[in-house]
Structures are given as C-alpha cells and as structure tokens.
Structure 1
C-alpha cells in the first residue's frame, strides 16, 4: 500500500505543478533572467554575515536580532547605492 500511495502523491504533485504553470505563468520578461530563489537567499545571507554581530546569535531577544538585520541591510543598501566598497573610516595610503 505504501508504494501505491507514493505513486499517487507523485502523480498528484506533477498534475498540480503542471496546472499551476499553465494557469499562473507570467508572460516572458525581457532583460536579464531572474535568479533562482535559493541563490538569492544564499547571497542575502552572505551579505548579512559581513557584519560581525550577525555571524553568531549573540542577542537574547529575537526583536534585537531583527533590528540588527534591518541595520545590516540598510548599511549594505546604502553602500551599494553610493558605490562605496569599503567603510569610510579607512584612510587611503598616499
């Protein structure tokens, strides 16, 4: 009975995915292809781990961790928008 149930679930999932692609597929977009969701998540975690305080879970309250993530992403976006690649407190050697 286990094998039949598994085959039934696979067929059901396949039909559901095929129907979902047909019914709700957006029109093709021009330009760069959209990156896979997993890559987007890994890239975001990579950006977050550039901030020391987020590498380990030091905060006792989840609200503080959430606030630190917001600060880190604001910092990352501001550096991206201004074109800075390093913190401004570093002096360039003459």
Structure 2
C-alpha cells in the first residue's frame, strides 16, 4: 500500500515538489490513523460495560465498535464500486 501511495504521489506532483508531495501524503496517512484511534478510544471509554440487543443477540461495546467499523467499510466498498466503475461500451460495430 505504501508503494502505491508514494508512487501515486510521485506521479501527480511536479518534479520540484516531489519530496513535499510524498511527505504530505505520509503525514495524512499518519493523521488518519491517529484520529481514528482517538475516536475508537473515546467510544470504548464512553460505552464501556454497556450491552446492545439486536434481534435477540446481545453485543458488548467491543462487538458494537467492530460492527460499526464493518458497516463503514461495507459502505465505502459499495460507494467505491459505483463511483469508480467503467461505463459500459456503447459503440456498436457495423460491417
């Protein structure tokens, strides 16, 4: 993943700004990791000890956090499928 991210940064950024572009992309990755970790820690701190009931299944706060993250990943995957799919080829070849 890091090779792909740095390679994409080298492709998009001008020649004179390559080091800045790569540094910025790695800084954004670290920032995203830090922010998501802080949000997860706060969720676990606030909802510690609570249980949730869904269709006669009981979940604790860890399982609820995993379900929330799995739901977000599913939504991101569905969005990526529809946002980045190629339109069908509409050209008709005639002879």
Give the TM-score range, shorter chain: 0.3 to 0.5
Normalized per residue, the structure richer in helix is: 2
Larger radius of gyration: 1
TM-score, length basis structure 2: 0.35
